[in-house]
Every structure is written in structure tokens, then in C-alpha cells.
Amino acid sequence: MSVCVFGSVNVDHVLRMAELPRPGETILASRSFRGSGGKGANQAIGAALAGANVRMFGAVGDDADGAMLRDQLCRRGLDLTGLATCTDAPTGTAIIALSDAGENCIIVSPGANLLARAPEPAALVGCTVALAQLETPVGEIEAFFKAARAAGALTILNTAPAVPASRGLLNLVDIFVFNEVELASYIGTSAPPRAARSLLTHRTQRAVVTLGARGAVLVDAASALHVPASTVTKVVDTTGAGDRFCGTLAALVERESNWRTILETANAAAAHCVEHEGAVPAL
């Protein structure tokens, strides 16, 4: 099985502090560190950690950050033949303010991610699951999903961040993954997770709504399945928990038919993610 991920690749600059700053406030960080990030890269690593063979498609800049990220992703075992290097844009960057309670605020400068281009169909031969998010151009995600479907792959869209133009992707997606805020942005109002059913355009589609500490809900045309969250010993950093969930789900859907098992495993992976610093575990 091969999971193909098209998405963002960033370097994360993380500042740890007692509490997140208020508007206009200057505070001192207790420590700082940097590492690999971007929803695409985070989810690709999550899929690899869950046992999948992963191909990563996206773009980094021709700079030191891009070289560092290539090294980090290569050491995770990802196939990077589809990761382009752009000479006219820097590598994407995220500045993350992280409180001691594990909450965060994130500012992203997309850089080369805005120049990422969908892979050619030939690059997707053997792809069984195609996963994307919304930190790269929507038109390129559409091309990625069309090529993946032509290759016979199952398509998964994590609707993060919520982008209105992504409604045009609905017919190309087999499984959606929303959180509650993203679901509300598509429906137009706060609604229970089962309201995700209104976004399904054909009977074989499924939507997964992640609920944080309350677990996740799977919705299809006829039913809904709620799976509670896994126990977290201590919340250290919530950055990347949703990405770990998505990557784990993508790794499991082709080899596991029991959706309760899939969601339980993805919940457990997300729970493990919040128990350490950084969007992905240290090498």
C-alpha cells in the first residue's frame, strides 16, 4: 500500500511560555526550538509512523530550511522524489506560541507552499490512498485528486484550514476530516457532528468529525458512529494532534475495514501526540 500526500511543508519555530500573550503584551519565552511542520509533512509522517509507505508531494525553498526539512523527512523514511525545490520562494515558516498548558497560537508564512504543483499522473502509479489538506493551492489539490482517482486511489481531504473555494472539491473526495470549527464554516452555523451528512454528495462518501477531548464521529449516508477519545496522561503540546489523526487514518483505511478500530487507533495516535513537544516526535 502506498499513501501519497500532497501538502504543505514548513519549518516550525516554537516559543514556549507560561501563558499565551494578550494583544499588545510582550512576554519572555522560557525556551525555543524548531523542527519540521506543515500539515502535509505532519500527516505524511503520521502515516509513516502508522506503517504506511509514504510519498510526499509539495515544495520547499532552495535554502537552509528546505535542506533541513528534506533531511528530516528522508530520515522518517518518506519518498521525496515528488518534493520540489523552488528558487523563487523561501521554505514555508510557522511561528508557534506554545503555553505551558499545551495551547497554541500559530502564524504561517506559506512561502514555497503556494508554488506547490500537483504530481503528474505517472507519479501516482501504485497509489492506494491520496491525502491532502488546504495549505496548498485548491486548483492543484483538485488536479491531485483527479489524478489519484484515475490511478484507483481512495481520496481523503482534511479541510484545514477551512477554505470556501474548497467546496469545489466535494465530488472528488471519498473521506472528509473536519474539526468542529471547520464543519461550522462549511455548514454556516454551529451544528452537531451529524450535520456533516449534508455535505456528502454521494452515498459512498464518509465524513469524520474530530471533537478533541470528546473523540471523533464517523458519519455516512445512513448512520453515525461516535468513538471516545483516548486517555491523555498530560497535555504538553496540542500542535499537530489533528495531523497525526489524519495521517494514521490514511494509513489504516486500506488495510482495516472496521471503522471503530480505525478511529480508536487514530484517536490513540493523536493522544500520544499531545503528550510531547512538537508536531512530530523527535528523531
Distance CA 54, CA 76 (A): 10
171: phi then psi, degrees, rounded to nearest 5: -75, -10
Distance CA 131, CA 153 (A): 10
Distance CA 118, CA 55 (A): 13
**Any idea which residues carry the catalytic annotation?**
243
Q: What is the DSSP letter of 279?
A: S
In which order are the strands placed within the sheet that holds 31-37? 31-37, 10-17, 92-99, 104-109
Distance CA 118, CA 58 (A): 8
Q: Which of 182, 187, 154, 128 is nearest to 1 (CA)?
A: 128
In which order are the strands placed within the sheet that holds 216-219? 79-86, 53-61, 2-6, 129-132, 154-158, 175-179, 206-210, 216-219, 224-227
Cell numbers given for 167 = 467546496
Distance CA 186, CA 176 (A): 12
> What count of other Cβ atoms lies within 10 Å of the Cβ of residue 29?
13
Q: Helix 241-252 crosses helix 39-49 at what angle (to 10 degrees)?
A: 50
Are 279 and 42 in contact by the 8 Å Cβ rule? The answer is yes
